[in-house]
Structure 1
């Protein structure tokens, strides 16, 4: 963590920080909104820097973002899913002690490298910043921006699935498995659940190819702020299934490289393994990261969304370009 001291409020530092905003390289620049008293305001600014946008108007489906805990968790999930490793914050001297502490807690949660621009003399630093490394000239700031972050710039999401689209290898068993569907009995029994996970299923059956999804729909999904909503709607879009089919999807129903996802039906008689298209991998990775960051999370990734926040999910689904969605009626089915 670094504190860049800019006592004269030199325009050079702000310009350099804004130019350093390159999400594709794992670095973002956050510009805090001035005079915003919302408890989650700074988390909103981080989400905005991550490319997420909020639905406008009163009673909008992003009202859940008013919760600071949920907003910071969403910011943490998206930073992990998109490979962000360095966060630069401008005008940090205007942040309250509470905002600074929120930012530091988020840094501990995500492991990102944090650089704060302090555009005044550092006479009364918050206690949490008194031991932070300080730099105070343009050359040092440029060196900070050039330093590598603590994690890879982007996660490994191969452009095409590597191990789930090949024809299934024949193995001893009572009957052949239909392509895209899993047997209800796992080779390794899972506690409390009859079905094997996606990786184990991929050894038995090839994944069903993803449906084509219109570019305007993928663009709309990419900017959704709630990781579970973005993940759920993306799966429903490229599988053509209903939102209800995600009710029993677990963490282990998403392969490690996000190349395939498994959805379940009641009774687990025709549970389905589907290939994940490249555009949806970061969205599904965000959903899984959000689930993993949730304390005492249930086994099902989308379960809390389909129960407590179903109205927000459905509201966002209805905002999508419906004429470009596969089977809209089925897509919105409960």
Structure 2
């Protein structure tokens, strides 16, 4: 099998010029990142962690870390894929690829297939002993000028995860005009979206896009920039997205169970929350700082082929939500409601 959009740069003499060019090519704002593999790390998920670090994410330290689920190879690479998709990464450059094990090369190639990014690997020794997966790569270059020309290319358009056939139009990207209401304590008009008369079954609740065309979104609660920055570096997309929702809506932790993909507008500017039986389903404007975090959560949800009607945050809410609650404990200044104890009772 030949890998499309994978380029192998052979630098037999290990010329410093190549490494310097690769490091200078790191420009996340242009969709191009350079990932430096951690040398001699025995962790199976080490390269995925390096990718997360490059994308600006930090794993919580310690033996009882709330990020322990990202020690799993599959979970770590899925998180890295979600952040790459959400942030529009188009080109990934990996220097010193000759030091990677066969398993990590395979992981990296599988991740590239999932995200659709352009991948450039610097093989900085003689090509003898190259893993078979890389030996099948069709595009190889050598020489400083071709390498610099490659780094100047814009890269392919980012791959956006799609839904299986039959997805609803509420998932399509669209701009939403958000008109803040005078007070965050005012319930948005039309929030009662389902009839709950005795003996009558509630109808499925409409998604955020449809509802936003009828009613106004409530303004988000203000979050200090230092707290928003603390949320922005969380490594797990679902946890970062979930805690950002709690921060700017001040909703209960239990409300996360009901948020579906179609409850987030295509441009991630509005989110819809739900109460039990859909008696109260308010819309909230999503602040600018939280949009990349919700985009990461939605990308994570879509990359594993969930339906638009499935709960986005179910994986971190159920099973006692121990990882989510652990992160809440590490961010006490955010004053996330309610307490971890109350959350345990809600579940």
TM-score range, shorter chain: 0.7 to 0.9
Instruction: Report the equivalent of 2:247.
Output: 237
Distance in 2 (CA, whole Å) between partners of 1:208 and 1:180 is 12
Tell me which moved more, 125-134 or 42-51.
Answer: 125-134
Any conservation in 1 of the 2:237–2:293 contact (CA below 8 Å)? yes
Q: CA deviation at 1:194?
A: 2.2
Instruction: Report the equivalent of 2:98.
Output: 93
Any conservation in 2 of the 1:241–1:331 contact (CA below 8 Å)? no
Report how many residues are paired: 312
Q: Does 1:254 align with 2:260?
A: no
Gaps of 5+ in 1: 155-160, 169-176, 186-191
Runs of 4+ that moved beyond 6 A = none
Q: Indicate which of 280, 300, 303 corresponds to 2:311.
A: 300
Instruction: Report the equivalent of 1:310.
Output: 321
Q: CA deviation at 1:46?
A: 0.7
Matched position secondary structure for 1:114: strand
Pairs within 5 Å for 1:153-302: 162-166=175-179, 178-179=188-189, 181-184=191-194, 194-295=204-305, 299-302=310-313
Pairs within 5 Å for 1:60-209: 60-132=65-137, 133-151=139-157, 162-166=175-179, 178-179=188-189, 181-184=191-194, 194-209=204-219
Q: Indicate which of 331, 338, 342 corresponds to 1:330.
A: 338
The alignment's C-alpha RMSD in Å is 2.4
Q: CA deviation at 1:178?
A: 3.8
Label 1:231 to 1:272 Cα distance change in 2 as closer, same or farther (>3 A). same
Matched position secondary structure for 1:3: strand
Distance in 2 (CA, whole Å) between partners of 1:281 and 1:330 is 23
Q: Indicate which of 40, 49, 52 corresponds to 1:44.
A: 49
Label 1:69 to 1:180 Cα distance change in 2 as closer, same or farther (>3 A). farther
Q: CA deviation at 1:181?
A: 2.4
Label 1:70 to 1:60 Cα distance change in 2 as closer, same or farther (>3 A). same
Any conservation in 1 of the 2:191–2:282 contact (CA below 8 Å)? yes
Any conservation in 2 of the 1:3–1:117 contact (CA below 8 Å)? yes
Gaps of 5+ in 2: 1-5, 161-173, 182-186, 196-201
Any conservation in 2 of the 1:164–1:207 contact (CA below 8 Å)? no
Any conservation in 1 of the 2:116–2:158 contact (CA below 8 Å)? no
Matched position secondary structure for 2:147: helix
Any conservation in 2 of the 1:227–1:286 contact (CA below 8 Å)? yes
Tell me which moved more, 47-56 or 313-322.
Answer: 313-322
Any conservation in 2 of the 1:78–1:227 contact (CA below 8 Å)? yes
TM-score between the two structures when normalised by the length of structure 1? 0.88
Instruction: Report the equivalent of 2:198.
Output: none
Q: CA deviation at 1:163?
A: 2.2
Label 1:125 to 1:180 Cα distance change in 2 as closer, same or farther (>3 A). farther
Distance in 1 (CA, whole Å) between partners of 2:320 and 2:88 is 27
Matched position secondary structure for 2:120: strand
Tell me which moved more, 270-279 or 293-302.
Answer: 293-302
Q: CA deviation at 1:131?
A: 3.2
Label 1:167 to 1:46 Cα distance change in 2 as closer, same or farther (>3 A). closer
Any conservation in 1 of the 2:90–2:117 contact (CA below 8 Å)? yes
